Amino acid sequence: MGTTIFAEMSELAAATGAVNLGQGFPDTDGPAQVARAAAEAILAGRGNQYPPGAGVPELRRAVAAHQRRFYGTELDPDAQVLVTAGATEAIAAALLALVEPGDEVIAFEPYYDSYAACVALAGGTRVPVTLRPPGFRPDLDELRAAVTGRTRAILLNTPHNPTGSVFTAGELAVIAELACERNLLVISDEVYEHLVYEGEHVPIGTLPGMAARTVTISSAAKTFSFTGWKIGWVTGAPEVVAAVRTAKQFLTYVSGGPFQYAIAEALGLPDEYYRGVAADLRAKRDLLCAGLAEVGFEVYPPQGTYFVTTDIRPFGLLDGLEFCRGLPASAGVAAIPSVVFYDNRDAGLPQVRFAFCKREPVLREALARLAALRRAQPPAAAVTSA
């Protein structure tokens, strides 16, 4: 198997000196106070040896307090919270623990790359339900039709990478009813829970009947801008969390001891911190979306996440993969071809994802470079109106 698309595009960006709007990571670190807490934990010998398998109690308590503070959920930090090596491990452990060979797992495509890989590792079969532009709303009839006697779980991601769609309470209620009616688990990846610019994040696990059948997953990476620390967590019913822990203990066993203490502190930051992260990213979203539209892309503005999806057909182009492989050399910018997140390739072929979690001058530089692309290849609309 080759490298992930994220690694491929980041390597291409580094090799060509391109502005990297591909892989989703911020170019400024999270709060200094949180970084200091990690450094102090290391120097004080906290977490330098194997932490407890479920995570240090301070972090489990902080995750439970976070779920109560933002969503009103009551969790027992000992039985209902599990710390993982990022959301990535949480997704892998949840699928390995809960999906048996032959089970079907429904996911909305385009989907984050590890979903397909982990469903396959678990011996399951992925069943895509396509989100379509411009709104990338879930088609709930299509979802209902995708459920069979073999369906074990719906793998949900809201706010959604790569489309930036935030599922509404109404959409989630329909998904929840279906899960209850057909006795399905929901594995809910909520890593962008605090990066919402329009609408509101609703954890599906808070809806009626869902506490017992939802595996809720999140991570510190996006909320606190420390993607390299790889501190994630799973919350849910005690039996479900115990099952996920059974798989997790043979994946990494434990990880990131000192960082766990630092994230325990980060989760308790005041509301202004959480509001500030979203406000900062909202402004960056607006800047990049307007600039990309100006360059000539069709832009589908996101309600959340780090990402905006565009369509390259106004340039007279169709193949986003070819476009992204050439873009670092032709324009000095790297982006991600969303087609790699689809089973139904035709649905995503012309879509290209740009990350806006970068400093404003970096976004402006990328836009200035992309303007050269426009001069070289005027968008079809500009040609007709000329």
Residues making contact with ligand PMP (CB under 6 A): 24, 86-88, 112, 157, 161, 189, 191, 219, 221, 227, 230, 232
Q: N- to C-terminal Cα distance for the chain?
A: 46
Contacts for 29 with CB less than 8 Å, ≥ 6 apart: 35, 225, 226
Residue 16, contacted partner among ligand PMP, ligand GLN, none, CB below 5-8 A by kind:
none
Residue 23, contacted partner among ligand PMP, ligand GLN, none, CB below 5-8 A by kind:
ligand GLN
**6 near ligand GLN, judged by CB under 6 A:** yes
Q: How many residues does the chain have?
A: 386
Looking from the CA of 335 toward its CB, the CA atoms found within 13 Å total 35
Of residues 23 and 225, the one with the C-beta less far from ligand GLN: 23
- Specify the pairing of strand 307-311 against strand 298-300: antiparallel
Of residues 158 and 377, the one with the C-beta less far from ligand PMP: 158
CB atoms within 10 A of CB 227: 18
Residue 70, contacted partner among ligand GLN, ligand PMP, none, CB below 5-8 A by kind:
none
Give the nearest distance from C-beta 338 to ligand PMP in angstroms.
13
d(CA 153, CA 172): 15
Name residues contacting ligand GLN, limited to 143-162 (CB under 6 A): 161
d(CA 22, CA 324): 9
Of residues 240 and 334, the one with the C-beta less far from ligand GLN: 334
**4 near ligand GLN, judged by CB under 6 A:** yes
List, edge to edge, every strand of the sheet that includes 151-157. Answer: 81-85, 231-235, 214-219, 185-189, 151-157, 104-109, 125-130
Residue 86, contacted partner among ligand GLN, ligand PMP, none, CB below 5-8 A by kind:
ligand PMP
Of residues 120 and 376, the one with the C-beta less far from ligand GLN: 120
Give the nearest distance from C-beta 241 to ligand PMP in angstroms.
18
Residue 232, contacted partner among ligand PMP, ligand GLN, none, CB below 5-8 A by kind:
ligand PMP
CA 27 to each of CA 175, 188, 362: distance values in angstroms, whole numbers, following the listed order: 36, 27, 9
Contacts for 250 with CB less than 8 Å, ≥ 6 apart: none
Contacts for 67 with CB less than 8 Å, ≥ 6 apart: 73, 75, 203, 216, 235
Query: How many residues form the binding site for ligand GLN (CB under 6 A)?
Result: 5
Give the nearest distance from C-beta 256 to ligand PMP in angstroms.
11
Binding-site string for ligand GLN from residue 13 to residue 52, where x marks contact by CB under 6 A and - marks none: ----------xx----------------------------
CA 175 to each of CA 36, 185, 186, 341, 360: distance values in angstroms, whole numbers, following the listed order: 42, 11, 9, 22, 38
Give the nearest distance from C-beta 247 to ligand PMP in angstroms.
16
Name the site residues for ligand GLN (rule: CB under 6 A): 4, 6, 23-24, 161
